[in-house]
């Protein structure tokens, strides 16, 4: 019987991040937040992205689950920002992953 592979935390984290970035709407949201150098409200994104509110909410949820964005409730709105600390961690993880061994 083959021994089961135990994935390192780094491998699991990279998988979570790449899953979150696997849809064009999510990549667009990340680029928008990164270009703004601040935050925006989900209502602003609804006006800009051609998807329904519930679909947008699911995309934001995936990005938040992966730790790439953070949301702050300011009733009746939710403000979203990049989680810059986690983006730095992701940058390091991907730099290590993409470092080709010869």
CATH number of the domain residue 63 falls in: 1.10.10.10
What is the pTM for the complete model shown? Answer: 0.84
Asked whether residue 1 is domain-assigned, the answer is no
pLDDT at 100: 63
**What are 52-87's pLDDT values in tens digits?**
989 999 999 999 999 999 988 878 888 999 999 999
Asked whether residue 100 is domain-assigned, the answer is no
Domain that residue 85 falls in: 9-95
> For the chain, how many helices (H) and strands (E)?
5, 3
Asked whether residue 82 is domain-assigned, the answer is yes
Asked whether residue 58 is domain-assigned, the answer is yes
Number of folded domains that form the chain: 1
pLDDT at 87: 92
Q: Given pLDDT bands bounded at 50, 70 and 90, which one contains residue 2?
A: confident
């Amino acid at each position: 019987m083959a021994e089961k592979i135990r994935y390192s935390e780094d491998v699991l984290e990279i998988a979570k991040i790449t899953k979150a970035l696997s849809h064009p709407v999510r990549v667009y949201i990340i680029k928008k937040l990164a270009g703004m150098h601040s935050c925006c409200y989900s209502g602003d994104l609804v006006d800009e992205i051609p998807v329904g509110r519930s679909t947008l909410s699911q995309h934001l949820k995936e990005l938040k689950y992966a730790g790439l964005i953070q949301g702050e409730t300011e009733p009746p709105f939710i403000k979203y920002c990049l989680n810059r600390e986690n983006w730095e961690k992701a940058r390091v993880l991907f730099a290590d992953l993409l470092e080709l061994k010869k």
